[in-house]
């Protein structure tokens, strides 16, 4: 029973961070219908930014989120403006390849700058935990879970209540109609990619106190982000949040009750089942 | 005028093109007679391997428009089947390859039945997921695949017909001719597909699935045909690779990187054209080798552009080899942004422009 | 008369050394310079760089042909093809087991002496390849050295294995499981994981529930730190943590004082294992590259020294290089090196691995091969602070 509750707890907590990665991807996909293969690499840049701020200026990884969000937003927006916006409406496979190429550029530039050494961030709370009725709760994961929740709530409010948010949602629902209604689609695309990148970068910052950093770290997260996004329904924020937590718990549970070696297979099988039987995803009916 | 132009371009059978192709084949056939360097032959083997992979993906991705980013699955199945049969059961690869083909047809039909229910980006993601499941399973099914330790073949049994030894696989020459043969086979298959009814059905599906469906073309049937042809050829590439390298493990024959690389060959060369993947291989194989082995820096030195002891020279020597994936990435972005029809399309258009100006 | 002889000798030495300088020996070095293994590959490059400097001091001018294999077997084969054609006297490398294995077959085919510095896969020197030599100890030694240390110090009854699903991880733990069965240890958990996963907590919780006396972990890189951090979170406290090499043997792991304390690990080399020149090598490396040398660096250094000296002695002739490697003995930072045929191995150096333990943020050698170490091991694990 303790083992069950323990894995449930760590699954939910790690799922929170997964959710943030998934939300970023879902916004980008929702608005642009581009599968962003560079998503994990953007997350990786967020990690290096956090590492840089921590090791040079001694800024705590959780505080550096405040710097990470604007910097990564600008990074994503510029990438969109100079590269991906040129490809809107191009063949989908070319858009995929463009993001693959951009991802390669990102990870290898970082490699030249920081070498390919594994970097690890050690804070006073890196292996700290709180005992909760016999279950240990990782301190850094718990903090990042709350930050994730706060960011998700703020984002939801932004998309629902503000004019810009509504423009983004409108573009996601129907690009042409939105254009006809006078929404500048190129601008909303830049915004969407900026927000998506900021979220991925933030996820990178949040995960860095408990994980390690190297230039090729992104690809594993890219795949995870795809799974989460599809599971929740492409373009749905609530869905991506749920999807992230489901994936976290599934991984955690299958490591205990099946085996660590098969846990990712379980995740991909779940992914295929959702694609086949509910291709619109868990929350597929609602768009954002 | 335009119509006839594009028609011959599509048929690809202009006398000039045919002549060039025949000349290239003759040169390639004679190549090992003149070039004895194993290094050169090895590079040619890698080139053929890329051509086979690119052409086979092209049938599904280029002609039928189904952008699979999971072709490593078929490559891996071919490679593993041949290696398992060769090392565990002592079955020589020229029989094992065909078992691999049978297995891969089964696998392809299962994958097809899952993935072809999906379209566009969903299809891409499903194909990745399936390939990842195969890769992770290869890690876990230790009895069959020997897990992460991989399968190592110490030697390849000699190829004999009726007791006479045709080749013993000790030099690179037999591998060269097998590679050339397979590459020509995939090009021939692509040509046949392109010039048959199948090719028109594939292209109809690529252009507009719903329209094709309403014309009475069975989407499931023809997508699966394209997949099976493509998978068989890819598995041949996998078997060829496995026998040549003599070692397979999940991360060398089933990774996502490989799937991406297979797609890149076609896209960089020119998607949906007979010789696009050949051009892609012609660009990518020498480029990555030149970058990897620091040939480009050496060339700068020997041309006298940069002195070997200067700061720039030292910087290049230290970093250019490290940067080869970076340059690869930049190349991909440039091709996608500025040559959306691939290098072949770009060059063809350039040639057309020049000839038109002359006329 | 005596002066004349001396003069003659002197001129001879000068002439010979200038001859050696005039004709540098070509040696190939295949390594993972880029790709996923690049972080470790860098250590090997540094070791080789130092060896080339030292060889120069000895009057041996090495023309180093550095080749990147990007961690892929087929690329390492390209590198070997190129080197064989370029007429190298011998090859040091590649780093990874998969690549070293692919290259070994070519070394046989082209009759190029290949000296493997740090790849652990058993098979590499078990195929009767007479042109392939290995300096480091193969995978099974990792498991045996560690478990012997535990048997020496206590009476463990049960053991849990958690290891990454890679060639190295599975072969080390497979050897460990065999050895455990032989010694009557009960195996209570056998968990392979895909490296790079951010969360091992549930697996560790499962292991904790089994309450094993020993926890044997094999992890290549920074996963080692994650595993120990999360073990601390979970409160997993066996009699001893045994870290099977690689990831448990990095400067980063050493610096993680909170989680590394009392963890055992095994390695190919330590500066205080009592081999000649080891402390000096440590100091020099630290000064030159700004970090501590790993065993990869030491292995690569020693391998290149051996290859350089041998190649110079053989005048670049591959056949002679191989003969000298077959019969020669070298003593250096890795101790005595001799390539022998035993227990199915061919040209394998019988390297004895030192066992280390982290004590207060410092790696201390607690079992030195053939010697008594200065530092006493802590056993059992004192528990988490």
In 3D, which of C71, C77, C67, C66 has the Cα closest to residue C40? C71
The interface predicted TM-score of the complex, written ipTM, equals 0.89
Judge whether C181 and C210 are in contact, CB under 8 Å.
Answer: no
DSSP β-bridge partners for residue C359 = C362
Q: Which pLDDT belongs to residue C103?
A: 92
Q: What is the DSSP letter of C86?
A: T
Question: pLDDT tens across A139-171, in order?
Answer: 999 999 999 999 999 999 999 999 999 999 888
**A221, A223, A224, A228 alpha-carbon torsion, rounded to 10°:** 130
Q: In the predicted model, what is the mean pLDDT of chain C?
A: 89
Q: How far apart are CA C313 and CA C89, in angstroms?
A: 11
Q: How far apart are CA C170 and CA C161, in angstroms?
A: 10
Q: Which pLDDT belongs to residue C3?
A: 64
Q: Which pLDDT belongs to residue C121?
A: 87
How far CA B54 is from CA of A152, B109, C16, C76, in Å, comes to 43, 21, 55, 22
In 3D, which of B295, B166, B102 has the Cα closest to residue C65? B295
User: C202, A252: Cβ pair inside 8 Å?
Assistant: yes
Q: Among the listed ranges A29-38, A250-259, C313-322, which one has the minimum average pLDDT value?
A: A29-38
Contacts of B104 (CB under 8 A, 6+ apart): B74, B77, B78, B81, B231, B232, B234, B235
Instruction: List the alpha helices (DSSP H) in C154-200.
Output: 167-182
User: A272, B260: Cβ pair inside 8 Å?
Assistant: no
Q: How far apart are CA C315 and CA B170, in angstroms?
A: 28
The long-range contacts involving C131-134, CB below 8 angstroms and separated by at least 24 positions, are: C131/C107, C131/C322, C132/C104, C132/C107, C132/C108, C132/C346, C132/C347, C133/C325, C133/C339, C133/C347, C133/C348, C133/C349, C134/C339, C134/C347, C134/C348, C134/C349
Q: Which pLDDT belongs to residue B5?
A: 37
User: A14, C199: Cβ pair inside 8 Å?
Assistant: yes
Is the CB of C170 inside 8 Å of chain B's CB atoms? yes
| Neighbour subunits, C (≥3 Cβ pairs < 8 A) | A, B
Closest-CA distance of chain B to residue A246, Å: 17
Mean pLDDT, residues C139-147 taken together: 91
Mean pLDDT, residues A198-219 taken together: 92
Q: Band of the pLDDT at C5, cuts 50, 70, 90?
A: low
Q: Which pLDDT belongs to residue A288?
A: 43
Q: Which pLDDT belongs to residue C40?
A: 85
Q: How far apart are CA C48 and CA C301, in angstroms?
A: 5
Q: Which pLDDT belongs to residue B2?
A: 36
Mean pLDDT, residues C141-165 taken together: 93
Burial class (CB in 10 A: 0-12, 13-18, 19+), C195: middle
Choose from C39, C194, C198, C221 for mutation: most chain A CBs within 10 A.
Answer: C198
The parts of chain B modelled with pLDDT lower than 50 are 1-12
In chain C the domains, ranked by start, together with CATH numbers, are 2-137+276-349 (3.40.50.2300), 140-267+354-367 (3.40.50.2300)
Which phi and psi angles does A279 have, rounded to 5°? -60, -20
Q: Which residues of A touch B325 (CB under 8 A)?
A: 104, 107-108
Judge whether A170 and A178 are in contact, CB under 8 Å.
Answer: yes
pLDDT over threshold 90, residue A106: yes
Q: Which residues of A touch C221 (CB under 8 A)?
A: 118, 212, 214
| Neighbour subunits, A (≥3 Cβ pairs < 8 A) | B, C
How far CA A114 is from CA of C35, C376, C385, in Å, comes to 14, 38, 34
CA angle at A162 for the pair A156 and A168, rounded to the nearest 5°: 75
Contacts of C173 (CB under 8 A, 6+ apart): C143, C161, C163, C190, C192, C216, C218, C244
What is the crossing angle of helices A185-207 and A163-173, to 10°? 100
Q: What is the DSSP letter of A285?
A: T
Q: Among the listed ranges A41-45, A63-67, C57-61, C71-75, which one has the minimum average pLDDT value?
A: C71-75
User: C67, B38: Cβ pair inside 8 Å?
Assistant: no
Q: How far apart are CA A152 and CA C112, in angstroms?
A: 61
CA angle at C171 for the pair C298 and C358, rounded to the nearest 5°: 50
Q: Which pLDDT belongs to residue B6?
A: 39
Q: Which pLDDT belongs to residue C55?
A: 95
Q: Cβ atoms within 10 A of the Cβ of B22, count? A: 10
HSE at residue C161, side-chain half, CA atoms within 13 A, is 28
Query: 3-state DSSP call for residue C58?
Result: coil
Q: Which pLDDT belongs to residue B162?
A: 67
CA of residue A217 relative to chain centroid, distance = 13
pLDDT over threshold 80, residue A287: no
Q: How far apart are CA B340 and CA A157, in angstroms?
A: 39
Judge whether A228 and B125 are in contact, CB under 8 Å.
Answer: no
User: B69, A96: Cβ pair inside 8 Å?
Assistant: yes
User: A212, C221: Cβ pair inside 8 Å?
Assistant: yes
Q: Which residues of B touch C85 (CB under 8 A)?
A: 37-39
pTM, entire model: 0.87
How far CA A183 is from CA of A27, A101, A162, C370, in Å, comes to 17, 30, 14, 78
Judge whether A125 and B336 are in contact, CB under 8 Å.
Answer: no
Q: Which residues of C touch B148 (CB under 8 A)?
A: 165-167, 169-170
Question: For domain A2-114+139-277, which architecture applies?
Answer: Orthogonal Bundle (1.10)
Closest-CA distance of chain A to residue B278, Å: 19
Q: Band of the pLDDT at C11, cuts 50, 70, 90?
A: low
Contacts of B355 (CB under 8 A, 6+ apart): none
Mean pLDDT, residues C125-130 taken together: 92
User: B260, A100: Cβ pair inside 8 Å?
Assistant: yes
Q: How far apart are CA A135 and CA A132, in angstroms?
A: 5
User: A275, B323: Cβ pair inside 8 Å?
Assistant: no
Report domain extents, chain A.
Answer: 2-114+139-277
pLDDT over threshold 50, residue A30: yes
% of chain A residues with pLDDT over 70? 98
Q: CA A203, A209, A215, A218 torsion: positive or negative?
A: negative
Q: Band of the pLDDT at C1, cuts 50, 70, 90?
A: low
Instruction: List the alpha helices (DSSP H) in C137-222.
Output: 139-153, 167-182, 201-210
Which phi and psi angles does B164 have, rounded to 5°? -90, 135
Q: Which pLDDT belongs to residue B11?
A: 47
Q: Which pLDDT belongs to residue B300?
A: 77
Q: How far apart are the first and last CA of chain C?
A: 76
Q: How far apart are CA C7 and CA C5, in angstroms?
A: 5
């Amino acid at each position: 029973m303790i083992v069950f509750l323990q894995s449930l707890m760590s699954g939910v907590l790690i799922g929170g961070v997964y959710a943030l990665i998934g939300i970023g991807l879902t916004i980008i996909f929702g608005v642009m219908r581009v599968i962003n293969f560079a998503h994990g690499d953007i997350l990786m840049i967020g990690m290096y930014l956090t590492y840089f701020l921590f090791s040079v200026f001694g800024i705590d990884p959780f505080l550096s989120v405040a710097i990470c969000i604007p910097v990564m937003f600008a990074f994503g927006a510029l990438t969109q403006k100079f590269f991906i916006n040129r490809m809107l409406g191009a063949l989908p496979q070319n858009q995929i390849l463009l993001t693959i190429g951009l991802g390669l550029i990102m990870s290898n530039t970082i490699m030249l700058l920081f070498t390919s050494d594994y970097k690890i961030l050690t804070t006073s709370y890196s292996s700290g935990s709180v005992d909760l009725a016999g279950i240990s709760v990782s301190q850094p994961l718990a903090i990042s879970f709350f930050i994730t929740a706060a960011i998700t709530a703020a984002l939801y409010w932004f998309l629902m209540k503000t004019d810009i948010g509504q423009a983004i949602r409108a573009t996601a629902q129907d690009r042409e109609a939105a254009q006809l209604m006078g929404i500048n689609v190129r601008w909303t695309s830049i915004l969407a990619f900026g927000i998506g990148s900021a979220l991925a970068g933030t996820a990178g910052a949040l995960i860095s106190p408990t994980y390690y950093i190297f230039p090729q770290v992104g690809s594993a997260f890219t795949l995870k982000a795809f799974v989460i996004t599809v599971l929740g329904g492409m373009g749905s924020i609530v869905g991506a949040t749920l999807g992230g937590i489901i994936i976290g718990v599934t991984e955690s549970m299958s490591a205990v009750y099946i085996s660590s070696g098969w846990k990712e297979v379980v995740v991909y099988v779940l992914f295929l089942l959702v694609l086949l039987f509910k291709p619109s995803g868990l929350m597929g009916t609602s768009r954002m | 005028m335009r119509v006839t132009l594009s028609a011959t371009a599509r048929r690809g059978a202009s006398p000039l093109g045919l002549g060039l192709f025949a000349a290239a084949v003759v040169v390639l056939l004679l190549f090992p007679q003149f070039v004895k360097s194993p290094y050169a032959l090895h590079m040619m083997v890698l080139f053929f391997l890329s051509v086979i992979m690119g052409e086979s993906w092209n049938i599904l991705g280029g002609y039928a428009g189904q952008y699979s980013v999971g072709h490593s699955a078929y490559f891996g199945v071919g490679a593993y089947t041949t290696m398992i049969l060769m090392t565990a059961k002592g079955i020589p690869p020229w029989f094992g390859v065909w078992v691999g083909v049978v297995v891969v047809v089964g696998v392809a039909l299962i994958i097809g039945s899952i993935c072809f229910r999906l379209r566009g980006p969903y299809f891409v993601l499903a194909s990745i997921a399936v390939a990842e499941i195969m890769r992770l399973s290869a890690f876990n099914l230790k009895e069959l695949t020997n897990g992460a330790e991989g399968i190592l073949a110490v030697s390849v049994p000699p190829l004999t017909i009726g007791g006479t030894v045709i080749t013993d696989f000790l030099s690179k020459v037999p591998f060269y001719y097998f590679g050339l043969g397979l590459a020509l086979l995939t090009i021939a298959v692509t040509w046949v597909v392109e010039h048959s009814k199948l090719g028109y059905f594939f292209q109809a599906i690529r252009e507009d699935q719903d329209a094709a469906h309403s014309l009475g073309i069975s989407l499931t049937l023809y997508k699966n045909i394209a997949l099976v042809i493509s998978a068989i050829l890819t598995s041949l590439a996998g078997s060829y690779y496995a026998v040549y390298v003599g070692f397979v493990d999940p991360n060398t024959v089933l990774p996502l990187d490989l799937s991406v690389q297979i797609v890149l060959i076609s896209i960089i060369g020119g998607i949906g054209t007979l010789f696009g993947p050949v051009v892609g291989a012609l660009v990518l194989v020498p480029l990555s080798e030149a970058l990897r082995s620091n040939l480009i820096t050496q060339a700068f030195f020997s041309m006298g552009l940069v002195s070997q002891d200067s700061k720039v020279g030292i910087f290049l020597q230290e970093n250019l080899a490290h940067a080869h994936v970076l340059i690869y990435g930049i190349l991909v972005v440039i091709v996608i942004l500025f040559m959306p029809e691939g290098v072949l399309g770009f060059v063809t258009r350039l040639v057309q422009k020049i000839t038109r100006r002359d006329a | 008369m005596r002066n004349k002889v001396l003069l003659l000798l002197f001129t001879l030495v000068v002439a010979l050394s200038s001859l050696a300088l005039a004709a540098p020996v070509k040696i190939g070095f295949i390594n993972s310079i880029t790709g996923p293994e690049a972080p470790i590959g860098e250590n090997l490059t540094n070791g080789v760089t130092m060896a080339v400097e030292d060889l120069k001091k000895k009057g041996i001018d090495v023309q180093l042909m550095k080749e990147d294999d990007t961690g892929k077997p087929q690329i390492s084969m390209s590198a070997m093809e190129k080197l064989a054609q370029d007429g190298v006297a011998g090859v040091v490398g590649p780093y990874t087991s998969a690549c070293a294995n692919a290259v070994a077959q070519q070394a046989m085919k082209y009759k190029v002496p290949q000296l493997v510095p740090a790849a652990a896969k058993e098979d590499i020197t078990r195929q009767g390849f007479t042109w392939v030599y290995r300096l480091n100890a193969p995978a099974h030694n990792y498991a045996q050295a560690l478990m012997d240390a535990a048997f020496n110090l206590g009476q463990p009854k049960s053991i849990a294995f958690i290891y990454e699903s890679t060639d190295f991880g599975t072969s080390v733990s497979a050897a460990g499981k065999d050895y455990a069965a032989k010694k009557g240890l009960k195996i209570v958990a056998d968990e392979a994981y895909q490296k790079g996963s951010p969360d091992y907590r549930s697996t560790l919780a499962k292991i904790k529930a089994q309450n094993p006396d020993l926890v044997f972990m094999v992890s290549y890189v920074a996963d080692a730190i994650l595993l120990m951090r999360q073990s601390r979170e979970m409160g997993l406290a066996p009699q001893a943590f045994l870290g099977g090499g690689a990831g448990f043997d990095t400067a980063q792991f050493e610096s993680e004082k909170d989680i590394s304390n009392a963890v055992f690990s095994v390695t190919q080399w330590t500066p205080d294992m009592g081999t000649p020149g080891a402390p000096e090598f440590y100091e020099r490396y630290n000064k030159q590259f700004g970090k501590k040398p790993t065993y990869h660096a030491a292995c690569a250094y020693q391998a290149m020294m051996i290859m350089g000296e041998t190649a110079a002695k053989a005048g670049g002739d591959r056949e002679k290089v191989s003969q000298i490697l077959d019969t020669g003995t070298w003593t250096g930072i890795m101790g005595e090196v001799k390539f022998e045929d035993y227990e199915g191995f061919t040209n394998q150096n019988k390297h004895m691995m030192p066992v280390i333990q982290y004590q207060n943020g410092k790696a201390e050698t607690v079992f030195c091969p053939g010697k008594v170490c200065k530092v006493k091991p802590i056993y059992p694990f004192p528990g988490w602070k």
